[in-house]
Amino acid sequence: MNKMKNLTGLFRKKRPNLGAKIMITKGGRTSLDESYNRLKDNVLHFGALGKKVLQVEASIAGEGKTTLVANLGVSLAFNDKKVVVIDLDFRNPEISKVFGVDEAIGVGDYVLEDAPLEPIIKSTAYGVDVITRGRVVYNSSFVLDSKKMAELIDVLKEKYDFILLDCPPVLMMSDYMHIAKYSDGILYTVSANFVKRSAVRDSLVLLSKLQVPIVGSVMTGVNPSDAFYGYSK
Ligand SMILES: Nc1ncnc2c1ncn2[C@@H]1O[C@H](COP(=O)(O)OP(=O)(O)OP(=O)(O)O)[C@@H](O)[C@H]1O
Ligand SMILES: [Mg+2]
């Protein structure tokens, strides 16, 4: 249950957070599968331009970032792309749960404890590799700005086609600024009927000050039966 209260006036209404999960299947034909196929095609195009690091952002907590990162990663893996997902949401790391791997050890251990690279990269049943947060990180900017973090991204760029970064919400943490220096583009998530317009505007103003472009946006929480789909005469 999401215990966060609507203290800041950023939500339109509260709703339970049931957690992120993998929802797409190989060859699946649901509207969700089709949506991820379209998104994947756009990301493949982004890759074809020589870019590989995607920073997934949203204004506030619970808009579907982790769900998006995880399902996009799986979708790219269905296309035989080598993908690693890194959990940079140090406040609320969920990637280990979604992919069914141990939280220990991860980015925190690599940067703060000098852990070796090999054990922090975990393969999953979904064909996607993941790096969890691991050890609790209290000072996120120290970790994100470290030389070790920059080295980690450089090494991963050699090994993978895509590096997907799960991040904390823009209006709640300033981590997005530090993460942006590694990223080639931002994928921006907006949850329909959940986040307030003013919060979206505020976070877009902050993101637009970065050197990194917003390369796409994804609306979550849309009921497919409310949306126009298919062709009609
Ligand atoms: N496309 C979607 N459509 C409907 N519900 C969704 C969608 N994506 C995620 N959700 C639901 O929204 C809630 C939050 O999802 P998720 O944990 O992925 O968000 P988050 O942005 O990572 O949250 P946090 O900032 O707390 O880490 C979950 O209950 C999830 O099932
Ligand atoms: Mg999350």
Residues 82-132 have pLDDT tens digits of: 999 999 999 999 999 999 999 999 999 999 999 999 999 999 999 999 999
Ligand 1 in reach of 167 Cβ (< 6 A): no
| Ramachandran area for residue 217 (φ above 0: left; ψ -120 to 50: alpha; else beta) | beta
Task: Tell me the residue range of the domain where 149 lies.
Answer: 51-221
Residue 100 belongs to domain with CATH number: 3.40.50.300
Does residue 132 sit within a domain?
A: yes
Q: Average pLDDT of the chain?
A: 92
Does residue 227 sit within a domain?
A: no
- pLDDT category at 229 given cuts 50, 70, 90 is very low
pLDDT in tens, 184-201: 999 999 999 899 999 999
The mean-pLDDT minimum among 2-11, 17-26, 213-222 falls in 2-11
CA atoms within 13 A on the CB side of 44: 13
Does residue 8 sit within a domain?
A: no
pLDDT in tens, 24-37: 999 999 999 999 99
Does residue 16 sit within a domain?
A: no
Q: Is the peptide bond before 105 cis (omega within 30 degrees of 0)?
A: yes
Ligand 1 in reach of 171 Cβ (< 6 A): no
CB 124 within 8 A of CB 100: yes
Does residue 137 sit within a domain?
A: yes
Instruction: Please state, as a whole number, how many other Cβ atoms lie within 10 Å of the Cβ of residue 215.
Output: 19
Tell me how many domains the chain contains. Answer: 1
Ligand 1 in reach of 92 Cβ (< 6 A): yes
The sign of the CA dihedral 19, 83, 180, 118 is positive
Does residue 3 sit within a domain?
A: no
Ligand 1 in reach of 106 Cβ (< 6 A): no
Ligand 2 centre distance from Cα of residue 170 (Å): 12
Does residue 10 sit within a domain?
A: no
pLDDT in tens, 57-78: 999 999 999 999 999 999 999 9
pLDDT (0 to 100) of residue 10: 77
Angle between helices 31-48 and 65-78 (to 10 degrees): 70
Tell me, letter by letter, the H, E, C secondary structure of 143-193: HHCCHHHHHHHHHHHHHCCEEEEECCCCCCCCHHHHHHCCCCEEEEEEECC
- The bound ligand whose nearest atom lies closest to the alpha carbon of 20 is 1
Closest of 204, 156, 163, 169 to residue 183, by C-alpha? 163
Does residue 33 sit within a domain?
A: no
Q: Which of 67, 97, 166 to mutate to test the pocket of ligand 1 (most atoms within 8 A of CB)?
A: 67
pTM of this structure: 0.93
Closest of 90, 161, 144, 156 to residue 117, by C-alpha? 156
